[in-house]
Amino acid sequence: MRYMLGQIFSSVRFRIGFSIFAFILLTVLIYPLIITEPPLKTISRGTFLSPGIYVNVYDSIGFSPQYTLLLDGAAERRIAAKLNADDRASMKEWLVKAGLPEESIDTQDTAALLEVWHANFDPTIRLPGMTNADRNYYIRLNTALDGLLATEGATIAVPDATTGALKEQAVVDQTSYVNIYEVPNSRVFPLGTDNFGRDVLTELVAATGVSLIIGFVAGTVATVIGLLLGLISGFLGGFVDDAIIFVTNLFTVIPSFIILILITFSIGQDKRGAITIAVVIGLTSWVWTTRAVRAQVISLRNRDHVNLSRLSGHSTAYILMADIFPYIASYVVMAFILQVSSGILAEAGLSILGLGPRTTEVPTLGLMMNWGMIYQAHILGKWWAYFPVILVIALITFSLNLMQTGLDRVFNPTLRE
Amino acid sequence: MNMKSDDIILSGKGVTKIYGFGPNRTVAVDHVDFSFKRGEVISIVGESGSGKTTLAKMLLGLTSLSDGQIYFEGKLRDIRTHRQKREYWKNCQAIFQDPFASFNIFRKIDAVLLDCIRLRHGRRLPDEQKVEMMREACRFVNLKWEELTNKYPFELSGGQQQRLMIARIFLLRPKILLADEPTSMIDACSRATILDMLMDLRSEIGMTPIFITHDIGLAYYVSDTVYIMEHGRFVESGSADDVILRPKEAYTRRLLDDVPKLHEEWDLSTV
């Protein structure tokens, strides 16, 4: 046993695949211990918040200690954030159209640009070729330019409860800073939020766990059915073999994904739990395991050690378990790994079509892609809502397949380099 | 030991085995009649593909008969249920050709020997007695049980594995032993040892050995009665002296010519 494990882990492919898989598995196990929030809880109002650190504004201006930092270029960065290159180009375009010589406008010199702008801009003027939308944009831009170059701070005022008069509470200078760690409320969204305003990372970790369970259940069901049918059909032969191989051939020629779609569709949305889906996937994907196991058993059943076991008076069940199964166990383990990976993919495929588990209880990787697709994350460019999901699916199947080929090389010495 | 000369232990009438059907139909054994006397050493000789291994499997009850009957101790052999098969296998055992393929590589030597004790004596034996029986069986084939226990069969040499196979037979004490090419996969020195052990075992437990072999020299060396098999039929049978020293069939003569001789040039024209 120890020797065999050593052999298996000597394969580089297996080691890489195992490391990736172990990392994913550990993340799924440990992450919920640290972030105990339910994965499907709506956190943000508004959808698809981009990844980043969200700091409570009220807390940071009112209650956190403020520090003065004198940083070079802070003002330039502030102005650049408010007035980007596109806006500057638009301003220049307006001014040129209004009749100013093009050479006199320098978009890089913010102070000069603003001076020319304030001197010439008039929202009532209709320039030729300008649509209403363009006009509104320039009016908005003009309003935003107010106080752009101001150097004084902002005043925080609180309305008095009885009179309604504003009372000055605090002044925030342009050089004021807060330490994020001293702000009582802040939240990190490493992968932003999704269309329902849920934290994508928390959801992704939970979905990965559920998808792995679906994969393992589907793989176990498929492998157990495939193994039992293959063992029985190959060892007994005759009529039993004919009957089993007839059914197997039926399932082989009908694409299993279509059967899968039909079964899940007929189950109905409200009865489809994650485990139900997993069992259905398992029930439709045992075919190749059966065929492969049957072929191996047929080649094994007439070997001398099986004959010797029969001569020793063992029952058929015992012979299947003790004399046949150990010889094909390595193959079955490899087939199981592939079944797990194809189970995860099948769930993703079903959910994309809207036939996945019902959406109220648990997230799955397929459901997350489904939501991303329905709410047009791919069109809106909200990559964080679907790309990490694709990456996790790819990593899981990649690591499982890598482990499988690694095992193949250990168990089939002819494949060794 | 009760050894009447006309005491027939195993006989067959029209024993036939057909594989496949239609264009793939192959007659492996074609209406073979035989009667094996208790206590005699019998050899079935034939070249590869002559159907002798299929016949051996039918005699053992590992393969069903397509046609014909086999009689065991005068009665029609009935091994339809597993219980009947177990009963039959207490009386009829085998040694296979390739010792390396004959043992399950996942089971230890003790398990193999304990299976035999269980088949013959049932489950209710004290452990010390089982160990004593295994020790005795190993001693009979010149192996030390202490060195074998907790080992796997593949850790032994080919000759040792074949001796372990004989130890199995020693524990089971069957009435019939089918030895399918028992010495063809082991080296020449072990060969004589194995044959001598089988002969010792025969006199020890009074069984009827049936050798299945392509080696007509071996057949002459060990057997009382020889059956020559070609294309699924017995072409010649009789006492070893009659068949081998005075062969009637051309096929027998060819088999005899194929035996390598030390002081003559080999004639490879028939190979």
Please provide the DSSP assignment of chain B as one string.
Answer: ----TT-EEEEEEEEEEEES-GGG-EEEEEEEEEEEETT--EEEE--TTSSHHHHHHHHHTSS--SEEEEEETTEE----SHHHHHHHHHHEEEE-S-HHHHS-TTS-HHHHHHHHHHHHH-S---HHHHHHHHHHHHHHTT--HHHHTT--GGGS-HHHHHHHHHHHHHHH--SEEEEESTTTTS-HHHHHHHHHHHHHHHHHHT-EEEEEES-HHHHHHH-SEEEEEETTEEEEEEEHIIIIIS--SHHHHHHHHTS--TTS----TT-
Q: How confident is the model at residue A411 (pLDDT cuts 50, 70, 90)?
A: confident
Looking at residue B93, what is its pLDDT? 93
Q: How far is A21 from chain B (nearest CA, A)?
A: 30
Q: In angstroms, rounded to a whole number, what is the distance separating the alpha carbons of residues A132 and A143? A: 17
Q: Are A416 and A407 in contact (CB under 8 A)?
A: no
Least reliable range by pLDDT among A121-130, A311-320, A353-362, A388-397: A121-130
Among A235, A304, A324, pick the best mutation site for testing chain B contact (most B Cβ within 10 A): A304
Looking at residue A102, what is its pLDDT? 80
Using a pLDDT cut of 90, give the percent of chain A over it.
Answer: 44
> Alpha helix (H) ranges present in A237-286?
238-253, 256-267, 274-284
Using a pLDDT cut of 70, give the percent of chain A over it.
Answer: 99
Enumerate residue ranges in chain B where pLDDT < 70: 1-6, 262-271
Its ipTM equals: 0.88
pLDDT tens figures, B42-58: 999 988 888 888 999 99
Q: What is the chain A residue with the closest CA to B177?
A: A311
Q: In angstroms, rounded to a whole number, what is the distance separating the alpha carbons of residues A394 and A385? A: 16
Q: How confident is the model at residue A147 (pLDDT cuts 50, 70, 90)?
A: confident
Looking at residue B269, what is its pLDDT? 61
Are B103 and A308 an interchain contact pair (Cβ–Cβ within 8 Å)?
A: yes
Q: What is the chain A residue with the closest CA to B85?
A: A313
Q: Where are the domains of chain B?
A: 15-257
At residue A62, does pLDDT exceed 80? no
Instruction: Give, as one character, the DSSP assignment of residue A176.
Output: E
State phi, psi for A158 to the nearest 5 degrees.
-120, 130
Among B104, B114, B120, pick the best mutation site for testing chain A contact (most A Cβ within 10 A): B104
pLDDT tens figures, A156-212: 888 888 888 888 877 888 888 888 888 888 899 999 999 889 999 999 999 999 999
What does DSSP say about strands B176-180 and B92-95: parallel, antiparallel, or unpaired?
A: parallel
Q: How far is A412 from chain B (nearest CA, A)?
A: 17
> Alpha helix (H) ranges present in A63-160?
74-82, 85-97, 110-120, 132-144
State phi, psi for B238 to the nearest 5 degrees.
150, -170
Instruction: Give, as one character, the DSSP assignment of residue A237.
Output: -
State phi, psi for B211 to the nearest 5 degrees.
-90, 130
Q: Are A267 and A276 in contact (CB under 8 A)?
A: yes
Q: How confident is the model at residue A306 (pLDDT cuts 50, 70, 90)?
A: very high
At residue A25, does pLDDT exceed 90? yes
Looking at residue A403, what is its pLDDT? 93
Q: Are A90 and A137 in contact (CB under 8 A)?
A: yes
Give the distance, in angstroms, between the CA of residue A130 and the centroid of all CA atoms in the same chain. 44
Q: Considering the domain B15-257 in this protein, what is its CATH number?
A: 3.40.50.300
Give the distance, in angstroms, between the CA of residue B149 and the centroid of all CA atoms in the same chain. 26
Other beta carbons within 10 angstroms of residue B3's beta carbon come to 11
Side-chain-side CA neighbours of A117 within 13 Å: the count stands at 25
Looking at residue A416, what is its pLDDT? 61
What does DSSP say about strands A52-55 and A186-189: parallel, antiparallel, or unpaired?
A: antiparallel
- Give Dmax (Cα) for chain B: 60
What does DSSP say about strands B208-213 and B42-45: parallel, antiparallel, or unpaired?
A: parallel
Q: How confident is the model at residue A154 (pLDDT cuts 50, 70, 90)?
A: confident
Read off the pTM: 0.81
If DSSP codes are grouped into helix, strand and coil, which group holds residue A61?
helix
Looking at residue B182, what is its pLDDT? 84
Are B89 and A304 an interchain contact pair (Cβ–Cβ within 8 Å)?
A: no
State phi, psi for A242 to the nearest 5 degrees.
-60, -45
Q: Where are the domains of chain A?
A: 2-44+195-415, 56-70+151-189, 84-144
Chain B residues with CB-CB distance to A4 below 8 A: none
Instruction: Give, as one character, the DSSP assignment of residue A184.
Output: S
Looking at residue B219, what is its pLDDT? 85
**CB-based burial, B213-245: b 16+ in 10 Å, e otherwise:** bbbbbbbbebbebbbbbbebbbbbbeebeebbe
| Superfamily (CATH) of domain A2-44+195-415 | MetI-like (1.10.3720.10)
Looking at residue B2, what is its pLDDT? 45
pLDDT tens figures, A352-392: 888 888 877 889 999 999 999 999 998 999 999 999 999 99
Q: What is the chain B residue with the closest CA to A328?
A: B106
Q: How confident is the model at residue A415 (pLDDT cuts 50, 70, 90)?
A: low
If DSSP codes are grouped into helix, strand and coil, which group holds residue A172?
strand
